[in-house]
């Protein structure tokens, strides 16, 4: 439970001072033995803990998912398999799953999404990573627009969307192969660009290393690069930038 919620309940008389004191005395993490849940992360950083599902034992995943759901009222898991989704949904029926991004989540309804992030891809094969970025940012209450399949092999497709790109507080550029998209976008906008190399490509792409090296060596300014296929990391950073970019008076639903 957030400190602001605790204080509001004390103010309204729905929680006693003693009850609030007990909640605030808790450790900044919950030790489950096999995991230490960082229940104070949102207080420190503005973002609650997220679950990386891949590789977790079923019983551990179920327990972590349930504890975070109870703590936050919502929970996000990345890199989840269909089998893991079925396991979680059997216990938490409100859970939803996107097989493209492999995100599993329970989300609070009617979120107020603010600012504007644009997520673009070079090709349709990059969409799975892009959706991980976009849905992460949306979970963290950012407004996101998607511009997909606008790679440099048909650069007119990207140029047709320049106005959309330039209206964003941050752009996430997702590309495999030679990874040139981020450099082109970086030359078109005055806001930060988060470049995401993907493992899409033929042999010499070296599972995304070629795109990673291109993006790191970009001559365009204002580009930051995350790890190969790290859509979650890109969505998180883009949200941090977006939060700095919008004002309190801005209406929901995007637009600058």
pLDDT tens, position by position, 186-234:
999 999 999 999 999 999 999 999 999 999 999 999 999 999 999 999 9
The 96-98 sheet, strands edge to edge = 51-52, 75-78, 103-106, 96-98
Mean predicted confidence (pLDDT) in 90-103 = 96
29 within some domain = yes
Which residues lie across from 225 on neighbouring strands?
Answer: 195
- Does residue 34 sit in helix, strand or coil? coil
254 within some domain = no
- Does residue 31 sit in helix, strand or coil? strand
C-alpha dihedral (245, 181, 157, 138), degrees to nearest 10: -40
Mean predicted confidence (pLDDT) in 125-147 = 97
Residue 40 and residue 134 in one domain:
no
Residue 68 and residue 16 in one domain:
yes
Domain that holds residue 160: 114-245
Q: Where are the beta strands (DSSP E) in 8-63?
A: 30-31, 36-37, 51-52
Residue 66 and residue 149 in one domain:
no
Residue 125 and residue 222 in one domain:
yes
Structural domain count, the chain: 2
The predicted pLDDT at position 84 comes to 96
Residue after which a domain boundary falls, among 56, 73, 106: 106
Rg for the chain, CA atoms, rounded: 20
The set of long-range contacts for 197-204, using a CB threshold of 8 Å and a minimum separation of 24, is 197/225, 197/227, 197/228, 197/229, 198/125, 198/126, 198/129, 198/174, 198/228, 198/229, 199/228, 199/229, 200/123, 200/125, 200/126, 200/176, 201/176, 201/177, 202/177
Q: For residue 249, what pLDDT band results from cuts at 50, 70 and 90?
A: very low
234 within some domain = yes
Residue 93 and residue 179 in one domain:
no
Smallest CA-to-CA distance from 254 within 97, 160, 137, 155 is with 137
The predicted pLDDT at position 255 comes to 54
Residue after which a domain boundary falls, among 106, 140, 157: 106
Q: By 3-state DSSP, what share of the chain in percent is helix, strand and coil, each rounded to 5?
A: 45, 20, 40
């Amino acid at each position: 439970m957030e400190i602001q919620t605790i204080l509001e309940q004390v103010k309204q008389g729905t929680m006693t001072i003693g009850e609030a004191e007990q909640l605030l005395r808790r450790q900044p993490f919950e030790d489950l033995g096999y995991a230490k849940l960082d229940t104070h992360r949102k207080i420190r950083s503005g973002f609650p803990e997220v679950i990386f599902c891949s590789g977790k034992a079923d019983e551990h995943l179920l327990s972590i998912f349930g504890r975070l759901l109870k703590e936050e009222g919502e929970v996000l898991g990345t890199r989840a398999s269909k089998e893991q989704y079925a396991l979680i949904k059997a216990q938490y029926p409100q859970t939803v799953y996107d097989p493209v991004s492999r995100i599993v989540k329970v989300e609070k309804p009617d979120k107020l999404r603010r600012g504007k992030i644009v997520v673009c891809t070079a090709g349709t094969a990059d969409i799975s990573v892009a959706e991980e970025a976009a849905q992460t940012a949306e979970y963290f209450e950012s407004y996101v627009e998607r511009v997909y399949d606008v790679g440099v092999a048909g650069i007119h497709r990207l140029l047709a969307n320049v106005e959309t790109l330039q209206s964003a507080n941050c752009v996430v550029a997702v590309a495999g192969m030679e990874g040139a998209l981020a450099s082109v976008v970086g030359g078109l906008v005055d806001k930060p660009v988060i470049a995401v190399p993907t493992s899409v490509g033929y042999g010499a792409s070296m599972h995304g290393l070629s795109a990673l090296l291109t993006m790191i060596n970009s001559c365009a300014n204002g580009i930051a690069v995350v790890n190969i296929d790290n859509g979650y990391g890109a969505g998180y950073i883009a949200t941090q930038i977006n939060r700095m970019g919008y004002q309190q008076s801005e209406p929901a639903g995007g637009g600058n």
